[in-house]
Amino acid sequence: MNRTNTGNTYIRLLGYLKPYWHKSVIVLILSAVGAYIAVLPTQILGIAVDEIKIADTYVQTHRSDETLRNDKPYSHEQKNPIPLSKPMTAISAYIHERWFENHNQTLVTLVFFAMSFIILHTFGGAVTLIHGFITSELGQRLIYDLRNELYNHIQGLPLSYFENNKTGDIMSRIMNDVNSLEQAIVGPVITFITDMFKFGWILYFCLKLDWMLTVIALFVCPFISLCTYNFGKRIRRVFRSLRDKTGELNALIQDNISGIRVIAGFAKESDEMKRFQKKNYENYALYVRILKLVSALRPVVDLMTETGAMVVICLGGYKVLQGQLSAGTFVIFFPYLQMMYGPITGLTRFYNQVQRAIASTERVFEVLDTPGDLKVAPDAVDLPPVLGVVEFKRVHFMYNNDMEVLTNINIKALPGQMIALVGPSGSGKTTLTKLIPRFYDPTQGDVFVDGYNIKDVKPHSLRKQMAMVLQEPFLFNDTVKANIGYARSDASDKEIEEAARAANAHDFIVELPKGYDSVIGERGVKLSGGQKQRIAIACAILANPRILILDEATSSVDTETEQLIQHAIYRLVKDRTTFVIAHRLSTILHADLIIVLEKGQIVEMGLHHELLANGGLYKKLFEMQFDTQEKIKPEISGGETGKAGITVSSEPILDLNVSSQPSKWS
């Protein structure tokens, strides 16, 4: 985004008020009315001064109480009378004649003015109140809409976005930046509009009273604007850096809190504290810079407005002495000028707040302008219920146009088949499976499901027909029931329990403090690795997909748990087309097809015994696992199995573990 394009960013932001244009119009009308009411009391003050002055002069010349009581000693024949004086004096004269004829007219007039003062303030207060309610609601609405749009957009962003951006920073954009739009845009805009109305009314009245004095008083305005503009530019630049730094700080906090066990485990608390302090200091330093800029601006602007006021006092006073201006006009002219400078200095404040908000808005729009997930053809169709044929045709793939991670992949899986992906670490097994639900598109070639090119179908209809069980299942901080039922929100309790039974999870679930209603903590922290895996398997069983992607867990579990998981997996994969990323070759001996990958290329393909007979990479990997197993067995178990909580499987696996974990529920 072009960062200098403040206007466009601002107009785009104001576009969010479009659906609420009727409320916006009401706000505008109320602003105009409120501003008008706000400038009237000053005029009443001026008229009162003139009234007293005239009455005083009259008393000085006539010295007669009787005359004072009954005569009408007023003269309002000024060249430029105070605009409100005519209607006000007319009304007060009417009140005097009608109801208080025996009372002093000046006193009646003053009491009437005082009452008007209170009525105007009360009425103005009511307008401000309604105005405030509507604007607050509008502001919150803008936040609500923008945050919804942002979150919705983020959900559709490509995986690469989340791989290249920090979670804490993304969260900071959704929460802090969107929030600051309300604080720095909606409020200031409304204040600005009201100020502008006020400015307009006062300018109108002042020009009517004495145009020359008004023009002279306004000579400082261009200087104020210029000064404000220059400071604003600098403030905005620093604010943008501050927002970015706040995002980084958030990301650091998020990362450290998630990895708190690793930090504690490696005793890195003081190093992390130093890292945190450094980032925190950067935030602090930027904030101080902003405060300095804002503080420096204020006195400069004040000096200019005071200069204007000084000129008005001298020139206005001179005019009063010359009889060109009434004392009442001089009295209201001065506060009016102050009120006129108010919106101009308010403009400074407004400008600064807007600069701040623009920095946040840019960060929000940056996310909104990131192109969405996948290019979905306008004529994309819903994928009908599939049998489960998955075919890769001449597929090549690279992340970030960097280096090819998959080269010329050709595979065909028939319904119900189990395809095992084998190969050294980094050979491209996981990447290959990511292309089936279209998390990424191949850079060349195509993937087909039941003959449909997956680029031609709606991603949602494709993904609905598959499930993934990951190496480290991600569970939500919710109940066991909600986690199993995540794939199917319409699942009944009975179906959830059946799925849990099929996944060999039911027995441990009922032993939890609240059974299926137990909350399992963030990422399922209150469950053991084996338990989490079985919850994930239950979820996949409940989803009942035709196509399954299984990233076999590498984390160690005890023999008994492993048996439970294996049985659950057998039930899960039955009759489904399954791609299994195999880390333990023992588990895929009966796969329908074993694909051996090396540096992104298929180097071997076939059944277990065929590949062993080939004597290629598969055989090497198989023997390596078996050999390692044989070697480490006596080393850690002292020649015995199951000693001191360490169990070794009779299968040729690499994983060994401490058998039972302490309860995390206590």
Ligand X SMILES: Nc1ncnc2c1ncn2[C@@H]1O[C@H](COP(=O)(O)OP(=O)(O)OP(=O)(O)O)[C@@H](O)[C@H]1O
Residues at the site binding ligand X, with contacts judged by CB under 6 A: 163, 399-400, 405, 423, 425-431
Q: Which is nearer to ligand X, 308 or 600 (CB)?
A: 600
Q: Which is nearer to ligand X, 163 or 379 (CB)?
A: 163
> In the bound complex, what is the minimum distance in angstroms from residue 32's beta carbon to ligand X?
56
> In the bound complex, what is the minimum distance in angstroms from residue 405's beta carbon to ligand X?
4
Instruction: Estimate to the nearest angstrom the gap between the alpha carbon of 398 and the chain centroid.
Output: 31
Backbone angles phi, psi at 156, to 5 degrees: -95, 5
Q: Which tokens sit at 256?
A: 């450290």
Backbone angles phi, psi at 411, to 5 degrees: -140, 145
> In the bound complex, what is the minimum distance in angstroms from residue 433's beta carbon to ligand X?
8
> In the bound complex, what is the minimum distance in angstroms from residue 427's beta carbon to ligand X?
4
Question: Contact, 145 vs 361, CB < 8 A?
Answer: no
| Beta strands at 444-449 and 390-398: parallel, antiparallel or unpaired | antiparallel
What does the alpha-carbon distance between residue 484 and residue 192 come to, in Å, rounded to a whole number? 53
> In the bound complex, what is the minimum distance in angstroms from residue 368's beta carbon to ligand X?
23
Q: Which is nearer to ligand X, 254 or 471 (CB)?
A: 471
To which H or E segment does residue 37 belong? helix 21-62
Q: Which of 447, 464, 465 is nearest to 456 (CA)?
A: 447
To which H or E segment does residue 500 belong? helix 493-502
> In the bound complex, what is the minimum distance in angstroms from residue 25's beta carbon to ligand X?
50
Instruction: Estimate to the nearest angstrom the gap between the alpha carbon of 301 and the chain centroid.
Output: 35
β-sheet bridge partners, residue 604: 596
Q: Which is nearer to ligand X, 26 or 398 (CB)?
A: 398
> In the bound complex, what is the minimum distance in angstroms from residue 605's beta carbon to ligand X?
16
Q: Which is nearer to ligand X, 249 or 405 (CB)?
A: 405
To which H or E segment does residue 396 belong? strand 390-398
Order of strands, edge to edge, in the sheet holding 593-598?
A: 466-469, 547-551, 577-581, 418-422, 593-598, 601-606
Q: Which is nearer to ligand X, 405 or 648 (CB)?
A: 405
What does the alpha-carbon distance between residue 539 and residue 467 come to, in Å, rounded to a whole number? 9
Q: Which is nearer to ligand X, 457 or 585 (CB)?
A: 585
Taking residue 387's Cβ as centre, other Cβ atoms within 10 Å add up to 13
Backbone angles phi, psi at 518, to 5 degrees: -75, 135
What does the alpha-carbon distance between residue 49 and residue 181 come to, in Å, rounded to a whole number? 45
> In the bound complex, what is the minimum distance in angstroms from residue 615's beta carbon to ligand X?
22
At residue 88, the 3 state secondary structure works out as helix
Q: Which is nearer to ligand X, 179 or 554 (CB)?
A: 554
Q: Which is nearer to ligand X, 428 or 437 (CB)?
A: 428
> In the bound complex, what is the minimum distance in angstroms from residue 621's beta carbon to ligand X?
12
